Structure 1
Amino acid sequence: MKGLFHLMRAEHLKMRHTFQYGLHIGAPVLGSLIFVLYYSMSGWNEVAQISGFVEVIGIALPFAVSLVCAGNVGLEEGNHFQTFLGSSVRKWNAFLAKWLVLLGLCFITVLAAIFLFGAGFHWGLGKAGLSFADYAILAVTLCVGSAPLYLEHLFLNLRFTKSVSLSVGVAQFLLAALFLTGLGDGRWQFFPCAWSSRGVLLILSYLTRKDMAEILAAEVRSSLFLCLLLLAVIYAIIRAWFHFYEGRQCND
């Protein structure tokens, strides 16, 4: 466990002078500001406005994850993955450290975006909105939904190149938007790219529609079970693959 923490600290140090911290700081500030300004002129009801904001975050996450993972793995290409693969006795810990650090940054970024939006929505626009506990639940939902995306895009960048990862990220972005329609009903749980956008919509409905609380609670439980089961499968497959990983050519 101590070795894992050292690897996670090393990941932070490697990203210190890259665009990644700037992206994770600037995105929530700019995104929340744009939506608060737009909603100051919009006639939507409060729940629809909150729903629109969190859905956009959910749709954007697949491409954002592909961009962040491409930049992070790109840091390892300079020495042909030698530091990455040789930094720990347990090779998997190097991958796990990357995954946990990027997922942690995602949580901080999404939480900041939602809290900034909530603050602007309540104090700037004078609307009731949700409680800060409910906003935190929405942030956790978005981040948990992005967990398999970081696994997938770290795999794509390590096994192939950043262009493959970015292309898949664009496709997942479009699929996440498409699955917000009726096409995603009953199917979105089997497509990790739609977990954040559809999951946060389901949780928001549960938090705001008390008349359907029991029905929505049952749907939340069944969806959560399927998603966690699929996440465990993805984790196991990528961990088994990484056991035999020895790097790749850095000629992207």
Structure 2
Amino acid sequence: MTEAEFESHVLDLKVEGYTILADQLTPAECAEARKELETRYPDRERGSFEWLFNKARVFERFYQLSDLLQLVRHFLGSDALLSAVYGSVVVPGEGGHGLHSDSGITGHNREASMPDADEGRRITSHSIALNVIFCLSPFTETNGATEFVPGSHRYEYLNVPESAYDNARTAVAPEGSLVLFDVNTWHGTTKNQTDQPRYAVLSPWRRRWTKCEYEMARVVKPDVLERAGEDGPVIFGFQAQSPYTELWQWDREEGGPKPEFSHLRRD
């Protein structure tokens, strides 16, 4: 990604609340990932679509893309945390569930997390978290692609007005693209009017000091972590774990007790 391309994506995220990066995954990677999701689809209610990085190596690529990491860290900091990697399949006839923001479901704008002093207003001054949609199928106007309301991430109030639906714009993107968006941005899956499933992978990222969907440091398999290289302990939140020993006994880099206090480690 050139400097000009980077600045263009930054501007899109700031103004529109989302941006599309093309050519992030190869056709072979998309085909392999689609096959994995197709195989796991029948058991999706029992967790087969979750923690995909632990289940097939193709999904390890999804948090190692340099263009994506550059943008994520620009908005969330160099210690941004991967919060989840899970599958999304919209079969023919499904979709069209209306608009929402992810920050109102698992993020900082959950109703129970907003005190009266906030007066019903969202945190819109800074990006607290981002979400990523990996387009394993082409995203079209008719196959269940995600639609976004441009600029809605800067709207202070929680309720989605009816006028937002008139301004929604479908994110049309070729296979292998990714859509990166602010979790405050209103969006929703459109109805799949075709005869083929629409395949995608979703991957939210958060600031280090916020709570992730999963305790990723406890979830990731050792071999997956090793293949993530020096970024692995940061991405999977080892350094973000809260100490359960006294501070002088804790190794923040490893996310556990220092070797001489290994007897205090919790499995």
> If the length of structure 2 is used for normalisation, what is the TM-score?
0.28
Higher strand share: 2
Higher helix share: 1
> If the length of structure 1 is used for normalisation, what is the TM-score?
0.29
